[in-house]
């Protein structure tokens, strides 16, 4: 069974792979034997991750900029596992949300994953094997509960819309490439501590999040790594079009 989780000889692309959850995923793929290409807009976290881990290739690229995408395609080469992890949220009360901010979030969180699918999946189909993992969120599955964020709230309408859209896109694309040997799945994490949300995770917020999770705690690095590795590995060969919630039961309430 160990071979079912072996990625030796595989080439993985993780967008936003230099820090946060992307950095954790990158480490999991390296440990499984893969060569990992990571990209992002900021060179510092990319270079730091490449220095800390073996078999990591950093490429500075903004996945919303066409010229950067073409550069990424050239530098990355043929990819076996595409992890669309890059994403952001924009905070604004919904009556005040501006169209340009909304479009930017949709461009990054939905359009960019689709563009990279177009660029890299035809090669996977030709080779008869591939994995696409779209990192959505539990907020691609539910409507959200603002009481879990005391003093902060959930004024991120475009984020919710984009992650629901990404889950829908995952299902559509999985059906399109079903017979090809390429699987397409969404990973939907609950709350995992990372530098991106350190400021929000004040004691009262952590307490509310834990009380809102059936398992009564936040997720750990190991639990995220195990989930993404499963979706990338040969072990998941009969799993496609699914949204794997790794959330301690968050979405069952």
The active-site residue, picked from 5, 159, 160, 230, is: 159
Nearest to 123 by CA among 176, 173, 78: 78
Pairwise CA distance, residues 195 & 97, whole Å: 25
Helix, strand or coil, per DSSP, at residue 128? coil
Helix, strand or coil, per DSSP, at residue 41? coil
Does the annotation count 159 as an active-site position? Answer: yes
The sign of the CA dihedral 141, 146, 152, 156 is positive
Using a 10 angstrom Cβ sphere, with 0-12 exposed, 13-18 middle and 19 or more buried, the burial of residue 222 is exposed
Question: 210 near 218, Cβ under 8 Å?
Answer: yes
Q: How far is CA 154 from CA 51, 127, 164, 172, 189, in A?
A: 36, 43, 15, 28, 17
| Bridge partner residues of 13 (DSSP) | 37, 82
Nearest to 253 by CA among 215, 222, 224, 226: 215
Task: Give the list of residues 6+ apart from residue 237 with CB closer than 8 angstroms, or none.
Answer: 183
Helix, strand or coil, per DSSP, at residue 116? helix
Catalytic residues, by residue number, are 159
């Amino acid at each position: 069974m160990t071979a079912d989780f072996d990625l030796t000889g595989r080439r993985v692309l993780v967008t936003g792979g230099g820090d946060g959850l992307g950095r954790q995923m990158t480490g999991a793929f390296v440990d499984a034997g893969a060569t990992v290409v990571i990209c992002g807009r900021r060179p510092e976290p990319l270079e730091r991750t490449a220095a800390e881990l073996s078999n990591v290739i950093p490429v500075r690229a903004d996945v919303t900029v066409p010229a950067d995408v073409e550069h990424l395609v050239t530098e990355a080469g043929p990819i076996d596992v595409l992890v669309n992890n890059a994403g952001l949220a924009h905070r604004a009360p919904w009556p005040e949300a501006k169209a340009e901010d909304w479009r930017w979030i949709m461009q990054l969180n939905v359009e960019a994953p689709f563009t990279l699918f177009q660029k890299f999946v035809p090669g996977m189909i030709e080779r008869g094997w591939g994995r696409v993992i779209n990192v959505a969120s539990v907020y691609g599955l539910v409507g959200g509960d603002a009481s879990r964020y005391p003093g902060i709230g959930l004024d991120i309408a475009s984020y919710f819309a984009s992650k629901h859209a990404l889950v829908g896109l995952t299902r559509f694309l999985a059906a399109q490439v079903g017979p090809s040997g390429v699987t397409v799945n969404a990973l939907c994490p609950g709350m995992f501590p990372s530098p991106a949300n350190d400021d929000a995770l004040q004691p009262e917020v952590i307490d509310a999040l834990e009380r809102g999770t059936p398992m009564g705690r936040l997720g750990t690095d190991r639990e995220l790594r195990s989930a993404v590795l499963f979706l990338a590995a040969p072990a998941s060969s009969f799993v496609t079009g699914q949204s794997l919630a790794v959330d301690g039961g968050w979405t069952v309430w």
